[in-house]
Amino acid sequence: MLSIKNLHASIEGTPILRGINLEVKPGEVHAIMGPNGSGKSTLASVLAGREEYEVTEGEVSFLGKDLLELAPEDRAREGVFLAFQYPVEIPGVSSTNFLRTAVNQVREYRGLDALDAVKFLTIMKEKMKLVEIDQKLLSRSLNEGFSGGEKKRNEIFQMAMLEPKLAILDETDSGLDIDALRVVSNGVNKLKSPDNATIVVTHYQRLLDYIVPDYVHVLYKGRIVKSGTKELALELEEKGYDWIKEEVDAAV
């Protein structure tokens, strides 16, 4: 589904990603962990098409298409979804109108008819239950005045509405209390299917108790330096990142 080969990216001339290789197949959950500043969020941003990052080398194909060639909106329409680490507050744009515009533009791209207001609302109500989000929240301006937990829940709600093939969760768990974490993870788990894949970028092993990964990758200095199964995450939780850093730095 997603194939990343030797991906290099930099911001304002400073290299951040220095040769990422990653294969994600349908139905899989990949966790990307790593110390602060290792390039985790950069990877998520580059995949979603954030313009500040310049891809200097390598390729990314998504369902056979060159992802890097596509504008951010077309990546979303193809089925890539990024749950933002810091969801943006947009005053004056109601959550409902925004989502309806988004859903219908995605549908149009996929050759489907636009949803009318009634159908849209029916689907919305159904998906709201997934993340236990209050309708009152959705009649307000997008993310404006939302608590941290509400913002993250709203991200997963949007994901449910857009039905992506590849979901990238960028530190969706950071700052959440246990209850909110459980709600958000439940939402993600319910959306999992054999046809779609999830990349979970996280700093804390705790999330992986709720969203169980098939693979765990450790990112350090812009490269994946270690890959394993969920046991690797437990080991990291116990021993921290220093042993990996030492291993890598010794090898250089």
Partner 1 sequence: MTTITKHKITDLFLQNKPLTQNFENLRKMGLETLEIKGLPALKEEEYKFTQISKRLDQQITNFKAAQPASLNKELIQKAIFEGFEGDIIVFNNGEFVPTLSTVSHQNYSFSLLSDSKSEILGSIAKVENDPFVALNNLSFKDGAFISVPKGKKVEKPIFLLHFNQANQGQVINQRVLIDVAESAEVTFLENTISLDEEVYFSNSVVEVRVAQNSHAHYYRLQNENRKAIVVNNFVTDIHRDATFTSVATQLQGGMLRNNLTMNLLDSGCEGNMYGLYLLNGKTHVDNHTNVDHTKPHADSNELYKGILADSSRGVFNGKIFVRQDAQKTNAFQQNNNILLSEEAIINTKPQLEIWADDVKCSHGCTTGQLDEEALFYLQARGIGKEQARGLLLFAFAGEVMEHISYEPFQLYCTNLIQERLGSKF
* Interface residue list for partner 1 (CB under 8 A): 48-51, 71-73, 75-77, 81-82, 84, 87-88, 90-93, 98-99, 101-103, 105-106, 109, 141, 158, 162
The C-alpha atoms of residue 149 and residue 176 are separated, in whole angstroms, by 6
CB 26 within 8 A of CB 196: yes
CB 29 within 8 A of CB 192: yes
Copy the structure tokens of residue 155. Answer: 């991200």
In the complex, least distance from residue 80 CB atom to partner 1, rounded to whole angstroms: 8
CB 100 within 8 A of CB 113: no
The residue (of 64 and 92) whose beta carbon lies closer to partner 1 is 92
In the complex, least distance from residue 110 CB atom to partner 1, rounded to whole angstroms: 10
The residue (of 144 and 209) whose beta carbon lies closer to partner 1 is 144
The residue (of 99 and 218) whose beta carbon lies closer to partner 1 is 99
The residue (of 28 and 155) whose beta carbon lies closer to partner 1 is 155
Three-state DSSP class for 110? coil
In the complex, least distance from residue 45 CB atom to partner 1, rounded to whole angstroms: 9
79: left (phi over 0), alpha (psi -120 to 50) or beta: left
The C-alpha atoms of residue 172 and residue 155 are separated, in whole angstroms, by 9
In the complex, least distance from residue 173 CB atom to partner 1, rounded to whole angstroms: 19
The residue (of 77 and 226) whose beta carbon lies closer to partner 1 is 77
The residue (of 87 and 213) whose beta carbon lies closer to partner 1 is 87
The residue (of 23 and 73) whose beta carbon lies closer to partner 1 is 73
In the complex, least distance from residue 231 CB atom to partner 1, rounded to whole angstroms: 33
- Look up tokens 């993600």; give the residue: 188
In the complex, least distance from residue 42 CB atom to partner 1, rounded to whole angstroms: 14
Nearest to 128 by CA among 145, 102, 150: 150
CB 31 within 8 A of CB 213: yes
In the complex, least distance from residue 94 CB atom to partner 1, rounded to whole angstroms: 9
Sheet architecture: strand order including 53-62: 14-24, 2-11, 53-62, 65-66
Q: Give the other-Cβ count within 10 Å of 116's Cβ.
A: 10
